[in-house]
Amino acid sequence: MRQATAASIRWVLDEQRRRGEWETYIPTGPGDVGRRDSTMIGAAAYFHPLRLHLGGELGDDIDRAARWTLDTLYARFVTGGFRHGAAWNAYGPCLTLQLAHAYLLAGNTARMDALLGWTVAASLPRADDRVVALGAWNEQHAFPVASGFAEVPHRPWYMGDIPHGWAAAEYLLLLRDILFFEAEEDRDPHLYMAPDVRPHWVPDGERVAVECAPTLFGAPFGYRLAHDAGARRVSVDITLSPEQVRYVYPCRFGSVRAVSADGRAVPVLGDDVHLPAGTRRFEVDYV
């Protein structure tokens, strides 16, 4: 199945190049060569929920194409949230969150943050007298509602299924993976810790914590992260962890300058801090 999927995607990409397509994107399916519309959001599944980017399951060329497809989606179909004009003629909160999740796993957390922020804001009642969004997400979020009734399409549009279980589930899964997520490629179990805990999440002197969270490794995980803005330092205490699982902390506060773990210096290898299994406390200084 893996080989057949990779071969199908490569055929589509080759055919689009043969036809003179200048933009790299994976369309909706092999029968949709050259179809550059919002239905290509399905390619986000490469990252979430399938996580095929871990270990390059389909090959480096397809991995690059999947990442460029995210950028094509963002450039063409995101105006705050994801505009699904090809099918619903409406915003898709659930699809906006799936795209946000894909960007989290692809490493572009600024775009993830922007998409999450739009989705949260879109769920809130408006300040005017048209209270049409009541603190929940619907499957389709109509252009008029999202724009304060400034945009009214000239063809049918959708607004329905509120509150929507898929959208709520995407929101909870995204928040969970912002705090931590697991990976176990090549028999190398590790945890990504706070991969998108950004400065505005943890102002100076504040903390964020995970307590007794279930993991795919069969044992709970927990940590406490504190931010000292004056010292430009992030401190993390690991309170619970599965055995023989190492950690990766992608620092989102700035460029990593120095790292110590349990009182010992750790080599700086970019802004992804790698820590051995059994680490109990580490500190990251950034600039």
- For 219-228, what is each residue's pLDDT tens digit? 999 999 999 9
251 part of a folded domain: yes
Co-location of 234 and 130 in the same domain: no
Percent of the chain with pLDDT over 90: 70
Would you state the pLDDT for residue 57?
A: 85
200 part of a folded domain: yes
User: Which of 174, 198, 216 marks a domain boundary?
Assistant: 174
- pLDDT above 70 (res 46): yes
Length of the chain as a residue count? 287
Co-location of 18 and 147 in the same domain: yes
- pLDDT above 90 (res 85): no
Co-location of 161 and 58 in the same domain: yes
What b/e string do you get for 227-262 counting C-beta neighbours within 10 Å, with b at 16 or more? beeeeebbbbebbebbeebebebbbbbeebeebebe
pTM: 0.91
Give the separation between CA 271 and CA 112, rounded to whole angstroms.
18
Would you state the pLDDT for residue 17?
A: 94
Give the separation between CA 206 and CA 187, rounded to whole angstroms.
36
179 part of a folded domain: no
150 part of a folded domain: yes
- For 154-189, what is each residue's pLDDT tens digit? 777 766 666 678 888 999 999 999 999 999 877 889
237 part of a folded domain: yes
Please tell me the total count of domains within the chain.
2
- For 90-141, what is each residue's pLDDT tens digit? 888 889 999 999 999 999 999 999 999 988 887 765 555 555 555 556 666 7
Co-location of 168 and 191 in the same domain: no
Co-location of 204 and 152 in the same domain: no
User: Which of 156, 174, 192 marks a domain boundary?
Assistant: 174
Domain ranges, residue 198: 184-286
